[in-house]
Structure 1
Amino acid sequence: MPSIYTSTVMNKWDEDQTIEDTPRVTPAHAIFDLPEVKGKTATELIMSHLPDGNAAYVYAETITAEDFDGKKGSFIVQGSGIWDGKEHKATGTFEVVEGSGTGELKGIKGKGFSENTPKHGYRFEVTF
């Protein structure tokens, strides 16, 4: 099972800021570049903001890559995570949605881990 790492560079973060009180639930949309796999994400999140400044989130994202372990295509992952507001650190886990792979990534299966400290990044454990 290949282990694939890519850093992430945030290009866009749009989150509904109309509700300021906590606890609150807000939708968010993000776009990240994935330099090591020559790719990008389109991410939809539901953020559950807590009174202590932390948040829990669930998300689904489409990952499109030109060089994902030498393969070109796209797939969807779904996951969840925690935002630590004091340390400005997000960590989470995700799974590849079976049947979502396209192109040379058709049939991809697996899971992964994401974190943004000390730098943003995804670690994938996948099979093709």
Structure 2
Amino acid sequence: MNAFTTKNWEEKIVSGTEGSGPRVAYAHATFAYEGVIEAESICDLLLYYAGEGYDSGQTTSPCFERFEGKVDGREGTFIVRHEYTFDAKGIASTFTVVPGSGTGELAGITGSGTAGGAMGEDRVAYTFEYTF
């Protein structure tokens, strides 16, 4: 199964205040991937909250994630750009590999995928279609 787990999540509000109206936060996260991607990643997210918590409706978050590890046995690094949405029910993302970001045996990698699961789950499933 293709899945990842959160190893670390640090979030802080950068605009607006907790509990009142729309606000923007920044999160810095570390994930561990298994499956076709065997890697650790560092992800930087810009989070938009429409109102109080996740219950206020769907929100959106663009982010960049840098992977270091293996894809299908090939070792190197690469970066993807996500567009996350999340609400009280869960998270969903579509992502694409940033052109030219692959290094080592992952040089020339292109591709896209999805990630999603219920809010609060330890493991999040992902798909990844790629070529070299």
TM-score of Structure 1 vs Structure 2, range by shorter chain:
0.7 to 0.9
Note the C-alpha offset of 1:17.
4.3
Note the C-alpha offset of 1:84.
1.4
Name the counterpart of 1:55.
59
TM-score w.r.t. the length of structure 1 is: 0.86
Q: Counterpart of 2:21 in structure 1: which amino acid?
A: T
Name the counterpart of 1:93.
94
In structure 1, how many angstroms separate the alpha carbons of the residues matched to 2:117 and 2:78?
A: 22
| Structure with higher RCO (Cα < 8 A, 6+ apart) | 1
TM-score w.r.t. the length of structure 2 is: 0.83
Name the counterpart of 1:81.
84
Instruction: Write the deviation string for residues 72-108 of structure 1: whole angstroms up to 9, x where unpaired.
Output: 11100001121112x2x10010110010001110000
Whether the 8 Å contact between 2:13 and 2:24 is mirrored in structure 1 is no
In structure 2, how many angstroms separate the alpha carbons of the residues matched to 1:13 and 1:22?
A: 23
- Do structure 1's residue 102 and structure 2's residue 92 form an aligned pair? no
- Do structure 1's residue 113 and structure 2's residue 120 form an aligned pair? no
Name the counterpart of 1:29.
28
Aligned-residue CA RMSD in angstroms?
A: 1.7
Stretches of structure 2 that go unaligned for 5 or more consecutive residues are none
SS in structure 2 of the partner of residue 120 of structure 1? strand
* Greater percentage in strand: 2
Stretches of structure 1 that go unaligned for 5 or more consecutive residues are none
Whether the 8 Å contact between 2:13 and 2:23 is mirrored in structure 1 is no
